Amino acid sequence: MAKAFSGIQPTGQIQLGNYIGALRNWRPDPGSFYCVVDLHSLSQPWDPKELQENTRSTAALLLALGLGQGSHVFLQSHVQEHAELAWILNCIGRMGELGRMTQFKSKGRGHQDASVGLFTYPLLMASDILLYRVEEVPVGEDQKQHVELTRDIAERFNSRFGPVFTVPEPRIAEVGGRVMSLRNPLEKMSKSDPDPNSKILLSDSDEVIAKKIMTAVTDSGREVAYDPKEKPGVSNLLEIASTLSGESVEALAARYRDGGYGAFKRGVAEVVVEALRPLREKVEALLADPEEIDRQLEIGRAAAEREARPMLAEVREAVGLL
Ligand code: TYM
């Protein structure tokens, strides 16, 4: 049972890719920490009221998944050690390596009005992970590069100042590590995509989920087959249904092969609707009781601080801060 850390930004609403690529693989093991990374959400323009709402609903989702029992759920900004370690790691990370991060390249590079936080963001992420001495970081494919940077930073720090940090490994699901947009299966599904039909939100009703899947872009031809290169739209739906039902993509493809896209999409919609409904109902129940959410987050904060405090003290001593 490896100790894990992972985080999710409360920017916009949580979508199916977050669930399949990350949340579903977060295990409630003792010693594991799961964090709503509200400070990360400040790296792009934000609305304070929306941030508050999204932070609470994202926390409710993690609690509804049972991650507050056994493992710990907390808010990044409640544990000040994250921001302090981030400064120290800002002085270890290098301009060149941060400039190579594909997320920065796609969102920030060349934009004079992009925030400095968008550039240094991966070092705050490295701080999140390294404070908890974890072995594993369960994430979607798009965060792999950031976890690899975290490894480089930890190794550089350890070779300069002694063996302070545990060097973590990314853990990425073989199927579902990159869920694609329903409107353009060559792009990943993303919270920030302005087209509501490109993504399924975990808060969507059964009807909305079914409608979005029925109108998902599929490929030319009629045959249902798993072929991410030639049939990216169909393959994406097969991966979604496979991860949520536990059936292999091959078995699903065989069942729907000659029935046409309509019957296939109805089958996928049913799987998604059935998988998300109980979770949505739990989240709604929790959101009706914000005090209970805050109470559980306070328990998580205390547990996180117990780990993060001594870790940061070790770092401070190693680098020569009095
Ligand atoms: P974020 O908030 O963008 O996404 C949260 C998690 O969801 C995964 N994900 C996907 N997986 C599969 N298919 C998709 N279409 C898809 N879209 C998102 C992401 O890979 C991620 O695992 N920087 C991180 C948050 C973070 C973090 C951390 C993660 C901050 N500190 C420490 C791990 C450890 C982010 O923006 O994720």
Structure tokens at 310: 């001594």
- Fold of the domain spanning 196-283: Tyrosyl-Transfer RNA Synthetase (1.10.240)
Q: Where are the alpha helices (DSSP H) in the chain?
A: 16-21, 48-64, 81-90, 95-99, 102-107, 116-130, 144-161, 206-214, 232-245, 249-256, 261-287, 290-319
Map tokens 């509804």 to a residue: 64
Per-residue pLDDT, 105: 87
pLDDT in tens, the chain (322 residues): 899 999 999 987 899 999 999 999 999 999 999 999 999 999 999 999 999 999 999 999 999 999 999 999 999 999 999 999 999 999 999 999 999 999 898 888 778 899 999 999 999 999 999 999 999 999 999 999 999 999 999 999 999 999 999 999 999 998 999 999 999 999 999 998 999 999 999 999 999 999 999 999 998 888 999 999 999 999 999 999 999 999 999 999 999 998 999 999 999 999 999 999 999 999 999 999 999 999 999 999 999 999 999 999 999 999 999 9
For the chain, what are the domain ranges?
Answer: 5-172+290-319, 196-283
Q: 103 alpha carbon to ligand 1 midpoint, in Å?
A: 11
Using CA atoms, how far apart are residues 143 and 99, in angstroms rounded to an integer? 15
**In this predicted structure, what is the pLDDT of residue 11?**
86
d(CA 312, CA 321): 11
So which residues are the catalytic ones? 107, 188, 191
Query: pTM higher than 0.85 for the full model?
Result: yes
Look up tokens 């930073």; give the residue. Answer: 153
Give the model's pLDDT for residue 247. 96
Could you give the C-alpha distances from 82 to 118, 196, 301, in angstroms and in order?
Answer: 16, 33, 12
Non-local (6+) Cβ contacts of 70 within 8 A are: 28, 29, 30, 32
> Which residues contact ligand 1 via a Cβ below 6 A?
5-9, 17-18, 20-22, 37, 40, 125, 128-129, 137, 139-140, 142-143, 146, 177-179, 188-190
180 secondary structure, DSSP code: B
Q: Which atom of ligand 1 is nearest to the CA of 40?
A: 30
Please name the residue whose Cα sits nearest to atom 7 of ligand 1. 18
Q: What is the reported pLDDT for 222?
A: 87
The whole-number pLDDT of residue 192 equals 87
User: How far away, in angstroms, is 295 Cα from ligand 1 center?
Assistant: 25
| 65-121-15-240 Cα dihedral, nearest 10 degrees | -90
Mutation test residue for ligand 1: of 44, 57, 139, the one with most atoms within 8 Å of CB: 139
- Taking the C-alpha atoms of residue 120 and residue 93, their distance in angstroms, rounded to an integer, is 9
Residue 9 DSSP label: -
Q: Which two tokens stand for residue 118?
A: 């968008």
Q: Which helix (H) or strand (E) element contains residue 34? A: strand 33-36
* Mutation pick for ligand 1 pocket among 143, 175, 180 (CB with most ligand atoms within 8 Å): 143
* Cβ neighbours of residue 278 closer than 8 Å, sequence gap 6 or more: none
CATH topology of domain 5-172+290-319: Rossmann fold (3.40.50)
